[in-house]
Amino acid sequence: MKCSAPFSFVPMAVTLFTAVVYLAILIPLLVVHETVPNAPSNPTLYRGLNLTEAWLDLNELTNGYHPFNSRRNDQVRDWLLRRIEGILDSNNVSWDTDDQAGGRQWIRASEPLPITGLNEFPSDHAHEDLQTQKEAPAATVFNDIIANYTSTALTNIGVSGRRAGISTYFEGCNIIVYIRGTEDEEGEWWNPDFVSSTRVHGQGGVMVNAHFDSVSTGYGATDDGVGVITALQLIKYFTTAGNKPKKGVVALFNNGEEDGLYGAKAFLSHPMAKFVHTFLNLEGAGAGGRATLFRSTDTEVTRAYGRAHHPFGTVVSADGFALGFVRSETDYVVFRAEGFRGLDVAFWEPRTRYHTDEDDTKHTSKDSLWHMLSASVETLKYLTSDTSGTFLGPRGDHDNGKVKNGSGTDGVWFDLFGRMFAVFGLRTLFAWSLTLLIVSPLILIVVSYILIRSDKFYFFAGSVKPAGHESEAVSLQGWRGAFRFPIAFVVSAALTVGAAFLIRKINPLIIYSSQYAVWSMSLSLFFCSYWFIMAGCNFVRPSALNRGYVLFWMFIFGWALLVAATVFEDRYKISGGYMFVIYESAIFLATLVGLLELFALPTKSSIIEALHDDHETMEGVDAVPHSDGIIEAADGGNDDVTEEAEASETTPLVSGNDHRGPFGATFARGYRRQYPDTTDGTTEPHEKKNHSFGEEQKWSAKLPTWTWLLQFLLLGPFTIIIIGQVGLLLVTATAQTGTDGSPLLLPYLVVTLFSVLVLLPLGPFIHRVTHHIPTFLLLVFIATLIYNLTAFPFSRNNRYKAYFQQTVDLDTGLNRVTIAGLEEYVRDIISYVPSASGQQINCTARATIRDGISFCSYSGPDANVVEKVAGVPPSKEYESWLTYNVTRADKQNKATFHISGKETKACIIRFDDPFTGFKVHGAAKSDGKWADVPETGSDQIKLWHRDWEREWVVDVEWPVSEGKKEGDEGRSGRVVCLWSDHNVPGTIPALDEVQRFAPEWTSIVKLMDGLVEGSKAFII
């Protein structure tokens, strides 16, 4: 083997090149993962957009908590209407408003017509302006205060094998802005009295959706303030001169997403919903960073997002939703179920700030705002200008009552360093997978067969008997290294998994704040253990075939993974297996190179013959006396000669005994004839530069020295990029979910899996890596292991989430504050709360509310959610917070509830036993879009008004039990009202107290829809 070239397969070259490649890839991946592209210095880079204006709007929007059930929410809604009007006026476009109740106002363009004199004829320009006034307005603002919907959903958790049901009545108050496209039909085609209202109008339009409500404990900067501001800027962009879209744009500002995706569901009863063929949903599940593409309905619509300057995301996140690993949802699911084709783009980290008081403009940035805004502009530009017919044709859901939007195909997509975006069809991936499954092993078998026929297949070559000398076996040592990889891999992976279990047992939440410490521990442990086994085996029994054997094993393991990925692609439409397809393709090519390089070797028979000839030569030479033998014989012949006389004065200066002095004797005895090295290979004098590495098989001297680098470049860089960025995304997405009740072991197993996958490209070459790197990584492992086992998992920048709710029994005045979370930390938090001091803290599990966490309660300060009478303590006014009346129909299993609550728009009727039907007075008739109460019944009715302190009138019926007759049975339960407005200090003193005294490593967030629940019992 030629070892003098700089690319030779020698320790220094391997160590240098592999280290440089890994660092050159992993460092940029981390930079892309942790940073956001800088916003442009020019805030009006796009004509029609203004980043400075957008940032100021975001500050105004997030100036307080604004959940649906709060006064601040009403203020935000009014502000949005004013901002939309201001944007349209500033762009000098004509627009009108429509509240779907017959009240319509025409707003002309703000620029007046030129005034002409009495004796002057109107100019052509004046005629054009008059004509413009008669044309349909460029935009229409819908102030939707009519839409409502009723539905029932089954939960995944039930009692006695029955899934609990939750019924909902919701009154929407969305804002919808329609920007007319050049290809849209003229006229107010959405009105019921329009002459052609019975048919679908135009070729459809593109919707951008964002919700303007926040949670009751978060300011909603990224969830979903940035989305709302982006939608405002899109209105500004598409109503700017020169930017008018071909297809119409619908901007939906929906209200009520946080409590159950209610605003999006209410929109579906609006006439504009039938006009939408594609959509872009903007969301937030973090508090800054990059906006990622969560999900997409199909390949074709995903290509629109690929036009973004800094695309970010992978289809693996969509698979997480599809497989049920991600339990939260966005409005995307509502629109997808309606047959719309579209995208779900959202902020996703850091989750530690999600739904907290740090979801504000202080903890996000203009860079994050620009990342979502610029991507949205490019996406909508593509969708509104597409004329290819991609989004035309018969609908996938075959609903002829909606605009035609064609049928999409399942897709695969991922970004590269946040700069490039790969998009292709799932069927393409399946074809690639199937071809690779079949063709790759066949090619390797064919090449192996040719090598065998050429007598150059050295793998699995053992002892061979030369022709004519069958009694003399010669070993080629071809089995050396055959089973090292599976042993090293299993042991190293087992140690890495064991470390994950150890961390899970001792300090399970350290990954919450220190995911890179966990990454470092896992990577260094796997590398060190794998290197130690492979390098140790190679030291004891060196083998030139070690690289090839490792690739063979990797190919077999990868092929098995590819089988599973292909099945998931075909049967379950799961696209995330693309990374295994790419991985196996790289392994196949590297393995093929490993086989092809064997053609450079001499035939095995020539090696064996040369070995045999050398062996016979040695035997012949040994039979002929040589110089040493002659010298020894001469010495032996003088054994009987007396010893030389002792030297004296008369002794000659130079001895004359046979003319032999000490130098001459030394030279004679030191001379030895050099025999060829014939242990297991041959050397040829004219090829002095070709020699095997170390003690490896001598026949490997003729192997090319540079092929290892080709193999590494095939196996390493691209797969490291693909695997690395998916691993970073998944670990970041799961690292901070343990406090939500999610499995604590999951993120550690994800780290372990991707640590192994990232380092496997080193597998065939790691035995050549010098000891310096594993020595350094061993120190890293020891340090990170100690840190991960002992460090406190939370900090000021990575706060633990504890969930708050206060419940008040309005009948008895019993007041309980509940802090939910992992019991160890919740008890610690409560120990800091003054009002809880000295109380016995009871912690219980409530799987029907949230599994995996404990609910710890104590008696706290009285709530002041209802305006109190001076001098009267809140506990004395509880009865007035909520009033209800229940009237039962005579001899029927039916009853009517009349419910009113002060300072609230939300109440609930909870039943101890299921009911089978309900109707809210004033609700729209069911159109079959939403599920009715199932046969198994429902357990509660959530009631949401758009107005304050309005009475609900609800009819309820329940089934007749076996052996009973109608009218014999009643129902019991509780009527509950919710309060969620926490903007004024002192409104909820218990929450103020917990937020004030809880340790700095803690954030307090809402547990349920209401921060405070007040309830009264009922019996029918």
**411-456 pLDDT, tens digit each:** 999 999 999 999 999 999 999 999 999 999 999 999 999 999 999 9
- pLDDT value of position 923: 92
Dist. CA 847–CA 222, nearest whole Å = 30
Report the pLDDT value the prediction gives residue 993, as an integer from 0 to 100.
98
The token duo for 551 is 């690739």
Nearest to 180 by CA among 243, 265, 102, 111: 243
Write the DSSP symbol of residue 486.
H
Q: 552 phi and psi, to 5 degrees?
A: -60, -45
| Cα–Cα dist 135/244, whole Å | 15
Using DSSP's 3-state secondary structure scheme, residue 397 falls into coil
Over 60: is that where the pLDDT of 239 sits?
Answer: yes
For residue 327, is pLDDT > 70?
A: yes
Which pLDDT value is given to residue 583? 97
pLDDT band at 651 (very low <50, low <70, confident <90, very high): very low
How far is Cα 837 from Cα 895, in angstroms, rounded to an integer? Answer: 45
Q: Which residue has the tokens 């504009």?
A: 272
Distances (CA, A) of 698 to 456, 464, 540, 606, 781: 14, 16, 16, 13, 38
The identity of residue 479, as a single letter, is W
In this prediction, residue 645 has a pLDDT band, given cuts at 50, 70 and 90, of very low
Range in 158-172, 401-415, 708-722 with the lowest mean pLDDT: 158-172
List all residues 6 or more positions away from 616 whose beta carbon is below 8 Å from its beta carbon.
none
In this predicted structure, the answer to whether residue 686 has a pLDDT above a threshold of 70 is no
Q: What does each C-alpha distance from 960 to 51, 891, 909, 911 come to in angstroms?
A: 62, 12, 20, 16
Phi, psi of 565 (to 5 degrees): -60, -40
Place of tokens 């975006």: 421
Residue 200's pLDDT is 58
- Of 131-140, 202-211, 318-327, 547-556, give the lowest mean pLDDT range: 131-140
DSSP β-bridge partners for residue 1018: 973
CA atoms of 216 and 435, how far apart (whole Å)? 53
Distance CA 539, CA 532 (A): 10
Q: What is the pLDDT of residue 188?
A: 86
Q: Which long-range contacts (CB under 8 A, 24 or more apart) does 625-628 make?
A: 626/673, 627/668, 627/671, 627/673, 628/669, 628/671, 628/672
d(CA 534, CA 759): 14
Both tokens of 450, joined, read 């040719």
What integer is the mean pLDDT of 347-359?
A: 93
Question: In the predicted model, what is the mean pLDDT of residues 784-796?
Answer: 97
Q: Which amino acid is at 412?
A: V
pLDDT at 495: 98
Closest-CA residue to 730 (of 313, 397, 396, 210): 313
> 193-197, 345-349, 584-588: which has the highest mean pLDDT?
584-588
- What residues are labeled active site? 257
pLDDT for res 192: 73
Q: With contact defined as beta carbons under 8 Å apart, do 266 and 254 qualify?
A: yes
Mean pLDDT of the residues in the chain: 88
Among 319-333, 392-406, 608-622, the range scoring the smallest mean pLDDT is 608-622
Higher-confidence residue of 631 and 907: namely 907
Quote the strand ranges of 868-997, DSSP E.
882-888, 894-901, 906-915, 917-920, 938-944, 952-957, 972-979
Q: What is the mean pLDDT of residues 300-312?
A: 97
Q: How confident is the model at residue 371 (pLDDT cuts 50, 70, 90)?
A: very high
Position 947 scores a pLDDT of 94
Q: What is the pLDDT of residue 395?
A: 85
Torsion of CA 786, 790, 795, 798, to 10 degrees: 60
**Percent over 70 (pLDDT), the chain:** 85
Quickly count: other Cβ atoms within 10 Å of residue 20's Cβ: 10
Mean pLDDT of 600-621: 75
**Mean pLDDT within 58-69:** 97
How sure is the predictor about 388, in pLDDT bands with cuts at 50, 70 and 90?
Answer: confident
Instruction: Quote the pLDDT of residue 675.
Output: 42
Query: What average pLDDT score do residues 583-603 get?
Result: 97
Using left for φ > 0, alpha for ψ between -120 and 50, and beta otherwise, residue 242 falls in left
pLDDT tens digits along 268-297: 999 999 999 999 999 998 888 999 999 999
Per-residue pLDDT, 144: 95
Query: Does the pLDDT at position 113 exceed 60?
Result: no
Q: Is the alpha carbon torsion for 986, 821, 732, 330 positive or negative?
A: negative
pLDDT band at 99 (very low <50, low <70, confident <90, very high): confident
Predicted pLDDT of residue 868: 76
Beta strands in 831-905 (DSSP E): 842-846, 850-858, 882-888, 894-901
Query: Would you put residue 375 in left (φ > 0), alpha (ψ -120 to 50) or beta?
Result: alpha
What's the confidence (pLDDT) of residue 122? 40
Question: Is the per-residue pLDDT at 720 higher than 50?
Answer: yes
Q: Based on C-alpha coordinates, what's the Rg of the chain?
A: 39
| Predicted confidence (pLDDT) per residue in 462-482, tens digit | 877 776 665 667 788 999 999
Q: CB 962: neighbour CB atoms within 10 A?
A: 5
**Range scoring the smallest mean pLDDT among 190-194, 213-217, 820-824:** 190-194
Amino acid of residue 438: I
Q: In whole angstroms, what is the distance from residue 818 CA to residue 521 CA?
A: 37
Q: Work out the number of other CB atoms within 10 angstroms of the CB of residue 605.
A: 13
| Single-letter amino acid, residue 741 | G
Least confident interval from 105-109, 517-521, 872-876: 105-109
Q: Is the pLDDT reported for residue 766 higher than 60?
A: yes
Task: Say how far apart CA 456 and CA 452 lie, in whole Å.
Answer: 6
- At residue 850, the pLDDT reads 87
| pLDDT category of residue 620 using cuts at 50, 70 and 90 | low
3-state secondary structure of 582: helix
How much of the chain, in percent, has pLDDT values that exceed 90? 73
* Mean per-residue pLDDT, 550-558: 98
- Say which range, 118-132, 146-160, 244-258, 606-620, has the weakest mean pLDDT: 118-132
Least confidently predicted of 627-641, 671-685, 812-826, 887-901: 671-685
Q: Which residue has the higher pLDDT, 508 or 398?
A: 508
Closest of 757, 754, 750 to residue 733, by C-alpha: 750
**pLDDT band for position 61 (cuts 50, 70, 90):** very high
Question: Residue 656 — pLDDT band, cuts 50, 70, 90?
Answer: very low
Let me know how many helices (H) and strands (E) the chain has, helices first: 25, 28
Give, for 356, the enclosing helix (H) or strand (E).
none
Q: Encode pLDDT of 6-41 as tens digits.
A: 889 999 999 999 999 999 999 999 999 999 999 999
Mean pLDDT calculated for residue range 151-156: 86
Please check the confidence at residue 647 and state whether its pLDDT lies above 70. Answer: no
Per-residue model confidence as pLDDT tens digits over 981-1010: 999 999 999 999 999 999 999 999 999 999
Confidence at residue 627, expressed as pLDDT on a 0 to 100 scale: 53
pLDDT at 669 over 90: no
Asked if residue 224 has a cis previous peptide bond (ω within 30° of 0), the answer is yes
Residue 684: its pLDDT value, please? 44
Q: Which two tokens stand for residue 122?
A: 């109107």
pLDDT confidence of residue 125 = 45
Written as six digits, the tokens of 274 are 């039938």
Going by C-beta distance under 8 Å and a sequence separation of 6 or more, which residues neighbour residue 147?
171, 172, 174, 266, 267, 269, 270, 924
Rounded to 5°, angle at Cα 697 from 692 and 700 = 55
Round to the nearest angstrom and report the end-to-end CA distance of the chain: 92
Query: Which pLDDT belongs to residue 317?
Result: 96
| pLDDT-derived band at 193, boundaries 50, 70, 90 | low
Asked if residue 672 has pLDDT above 50, the reply is no
C-alpha angle 869-870-875 in degrees, rounded to nearest 5: 60
Burial of 816 (0-12, 13-18, 19+ CB in 10 A): middle
